[in-house]
Amino acid sequence: MSWKNSTSRYGNLAIGLHWLMLLLIGAVYATIELRGIFPKGSDPREAMKMWHFMLGLSVLLLTLLRIANRFSAPTPAIEPPLKPLQDKLAKLMHLALYGLMLGMPLA
């Protein structure tokens, strides 16, 4: 298997980034939720906030890498082909997800 996408299959880079992003986004969410179990001003609470920021920046950087990978290699075709409405909705959903992955760390 290749690192780059082909017309029939996603490459190892795209697959690895996909799953790494899932883990990172889950970790970002977990750190901000877990900070609530520590008292305000405590060192563990501050550490959770710091981890939240650092993991969020990692999401931002990996999103930029993921966008670069998406435009530098072909996207495999979906088999069987989607109906036109489903195809448009899928593209809008991908755009929304990329917007969230870029916008949330910046916010």
pLDDT tens, 11-61? Answer: 999 999 999 999 999 999 999 999 999 999 999 999 999 999 999 999 999
Distance of CA 75 to the CA centre of its chain: 17
Q: What is the DSSP letter of 61?
A: H
Read off the pTM: 0.87
User: Which residues touch 76 (CB under 8 Å, ≥6 apart)?
Assistant: 5, 6, 7, 8, 9, 10
| Residue 100: closest CA among 66, 74, 50 | 66
> Which pLDDT score, from 0 to 100, does residue 22 have?
96
Give yes or no for residue 1 having a pLDDT over 80. Answer: no
CA–CA gap between residue 11 and residue 66 (Å, rounded) = 12
